[in-house]
Amino acid sequence: MRDPGICVVICVYTEDRWEDILAAVSSVRAQSYPALETLLVVDHNPVLKDRLEREYKETGGVQVLANAGPRGLSAGRNTGIAASRAEVIAFLDDDAVAERDWLRRFAEGYADPRVMAVGGRTVPVWASGRRPAWFPEEFDWVVGCTYRGLPPGRVRVRNVLGGNASFRRTAFEAAGGFATGIGRDDDRRPLGCEETELCIRLTRARPDAVLLIDDRAVIHHRVPEPREHFAYFRTRTYAEGLSKALVAKSVGADKGLESERRYTTRVLPAGVARGLRDALLARPGGAGRAGAIVAGVLSAAGGYAIGSLRARRGGTTFSVAPIEEGAHD
């Protein structure tokens, strides 16, 4: 099977990440498997859009677009999908850099025509220079990274993780785009799960679809200093519970919580045991990690309970629209 053409979409929203954005684009331009194009989708920030257009005016293969939908990450991604011309669309966070073979590993996964999505491994880059001693690897998803408990290698999964992922264009034709009203919105509340909802919707529309994660498709994701603190950890885990309730309402709890059951019954108890063992051996952070795992579970459960109540009352909704092809700005 021929190698697929890949477009990379990077959604951006703030000038505070200017250097990060430039680094992300540079990492795409340095790929061993070249991207057909890089699309920077700006989320309702005309000043940033103008600045990026000036920055990349003379740079071939980089286009700057305005988010054509409501504010938020999902609509920005949908704008990029509609504007792209490639067979495969990859997504990279605006505060991450990809290793040189990132797109090559994605492309290899699509040799099987059944494969509709390929994700990768996201490694945290802590602002302080090292992982906080209390921060459990089982909860690295809190900072947008690959967490302990995911299987190694190239494996089949229920869903890929949105900041380091790719999809065939035909996946969006079958299932529609990312749902708006469920994911990130300018960091006001760190919601998520939009990629989980999309992947479940995709496998319902295409029961033969295969979704993969290849841990050789590596990006390095910057974790700012405020996200190294327990206050953010608690806020993010609560928001995850809210998001999971929306997903469960959309696709049913059986499918919406399928992976989470194994995670909470096997991965997290093992993490607590490791933390307590380390505490007994006087290793730094052991008790803190065990406590953080318990606190994270309770916080997510509380968010899920509140989110489920709101969903039953119809107070929180999200919508899915088909992807409509658009033109480059």
**CA distance linking residue 71 with residue 109, whole number of Å:** 32
Residue 188 has pLDDT above 60, yes or no: no
**CA distance linking residue 123 with residue 148, whole number of Å:** 11
- pLDDT at position 311 is 75
Low-confidence winner among 8-12, 28-32, 118-122, 239-243 (lowest mean pLDDT): 239-243
pLDDT in tens, 150-182: 889 999 999 998 899 999 999 999 999 998 866
pLDDT in tens, 257-297: 667 788 899 899 999 999 999 999 999 999 999 999 999 99
Q: How many alpha carbons fall within 13 Å on the CB side of residue 299?
A: 19
Q: Which residues contact 267 (CB under 8 A, 6 or more apart)?
A: 138, 148, 149
Look at the pTM and tell me if it is higher than 0.85. Answer: yes
**CA distance linking residue 105 with residue 183, whole number of Å:** 27
pLDDT in tens, 128-147: 999 999 999 999 999 999 99
Residue 327 has pLDDT above 70, yes or no: no
The identity of residue 113, as a single letter, is: P
**CA distance linking residue 301 with residue 309, whole number of Å:** 12
Phi–psi pair at 74, nearest 5 degrees: -60, -50
Find out whether 244 and 150 touch, Cβ atoms under 8 Å.
Answer: no
Q: Are strands 6-12 and 154-156 parallel, antiparallel or unpaired?
A: unpaired
pLDDT in tens, 18-56: 999 999 999 999 999 999 999 999 999 999 999 999 999
Tokens standing for residue 297: 């579970």
Q: What is the mean pLDDT of the chain?
A: 90
Find out whether 299 and 231 touch, Cβ atoms under 8 Å.
Answer: no
**CA distance linking residue 60 with residue 37, whole number of Å:** 8
